[in-house]
Structure 1
């Protein structure tokens, strides 16, 4: 990694819920334009690490650092949207929260880009469309880093391909990607680096070529 200050960093960051350790002391850095896959079994701490880096959770110990002025888009597994609003209304609302000067224009662009319906409430969307709306919300505000928790989990193969085309275009424009996935094909095709968690601790951190998925399954 370059000597430039990372976009996001965890410094011995940990998270507890009472006596339960969701994530032990963890060190991690995300730099400009990187694509990092975060892998590991359920309950390993992947979603917790993303939430800490996004600022949605406070660490119980250690600290999380964000470069001054860095903007972060976060798409958690549990969709961050309002069920009684339409996709357009959701996008306009979140665009205003991002201080977007043209929320209607941004909403229209993302509705077209993600092929989202306009006249249906978000709570009535299919699982795939809810996931696409979740990702569209994460892209508001021109983020410098995208934190994506299993972004393709509810998508069919064609939707996955279209999504990765969009994400690769974002990365080529300098946006950093940290994505959780259970698909080794996505790791091999889209990541430059892999971090594997197990039982709240880093079990592996290195290049895709060095990563051996079966050994950490």
Structure 2
């Protein structure tokens, strides 16, 4: 059942206010969810009412599109955004140069790289961002807070499974995940260390 337009309009305006205060990936997900509920006609109205860049964020399918939309500003203004976790300075430089525009040969020369190493850096960066995007979606579906999400994205697959089960006994976690108790204890120690280092 479609939401009445006036209700959607209020939700969109409230979310726009939220977005203007702090642009985080989870807020983009919320923003997208609101518009995804709309009918085609309502989406058309929304597209006209909203800033075009914001509307594009409602239809993100891959994090590559996220980077294309944000280009230089997001990398420069919000380098600590969880979506960029794990990118090396080389990755960041390659992305910034890429989205400034230009041919690969020229972009590579600016960074003192060969064309192949430049393209490799872009491929690696895109892969990292896509993995981060998947982790953010998982965190969102689990209902994690922004602080918890910042920890979650830095964990390995096993550590993530344990992180969301920290209220359970290690023995029960080991049984549920099908891993040894010693691996659970080791992972719990790593999770706590990363949480405390947050």
Report the TM-score, using the length of structure 1 for normalisation. Answer: 0.26
Greater share of helix: 2
Higher RCO, 1 vs 2 (CA within 8 Å, ≥6 residues apart): 1
Report the TM-score, using the length of structure 2 for normalisation. Answer: 0.28
